[in-house]
Amino acid sequence: MTYLGTGTTILENRLDKTIYKNQEKILEKDKEETISGSISFSTYKSYLLAPHSYLLLISTVLVFVITAVATRGSFYFIAHWVNLEQNRYSESEVMDRKLFIYIYCTIILSTVIFTILRAILFVNYTMASSKSLHHAMFNSLMHSTLKFFNSNSSGRILNRFSKDLFSIDETLPTVSIVAILTALNICGILIIICIVNPWFIIPTTVLIVLLF
């Protein structure tokens, strides 16, 4: 009886070790791989073309550019107006202030209108991208084979539909709008400085080549 009990214990230990090794292999096989580095251009392209509407894309880009031009144009117009006022008192030039007031009010009003329109178009564009990507993921999941479900756990699949789509819906638009506005503001400032002082084009070009 003692030998039988000892043999059974050894067999159970071997089975436990075999099961443990198999579980380790399965976990190692199911472990997700993380990729680090810069995001490829194809990823940006897939997100930008996700709404399948070139009209919406072009309209959004144009409104962003027009808003930036109107904003920086108001600053340039104020500077030009101040210079004319100084020349008016120094050289006794006659100028129509009402005309300048109307022009400045028109620029400010157009800036407000295009800013609101920019926000509406950007929200609609990001929502359309999110919906399109969600539908594409869901359709791919519905047409997947059983091998896909055997190779990927349900938690991993749910994580793609929860965490990743949350990042696309919430985090990505916020970061994108900040990055786009920052880039447009920098470009606008550099353009205005180069218009006021054309010699500034040389160091600007050097900085762009060195940084980018």
The residue whose two tokens read 């600053």 is 75
Residue 67 binned pLDDT confidence (cut-offs 50, 70, 90): very high
> Percent of the chain beyond pLDDT 90?
18
Tell me: the pLDDT tens digits for 102-151? 888 999 999 999 999 999 999 999 999 888 888 888 888 888 887 777 77
Q: Give the pLDDT confidence score for residue 19 in this predicted structure.
A: 56
Tokens describing residue 104: 């400045």
Tokens describing residue 91: 């050289």
Give the pTM: 0.72
Look at residue 18 and tell me whether its pLDDT is greater than 70.
Answer: no
Out of 22-31, 84-93, 169-178, pick the least confident. Answer: 22-31
Q: Give the pLDDT confidence score for residue 35 in this predicted structure.
A: 62
DSSP symbols for 72-103: HHHHHHHHHHHHHHHHHHHH-----HHHHHHH
Phi, psi (5° rounding) for residue 36? -110, 155
Q: Tell me whether residue 60 is exposed, middle or buried, using C-beta atoms within 10 angstroms of its C-beta: 0 to 12, 13 to 18, 19 or more.
A: buried
| Nearest-10 crossing angle of helices 41-48, 97-142 | 100
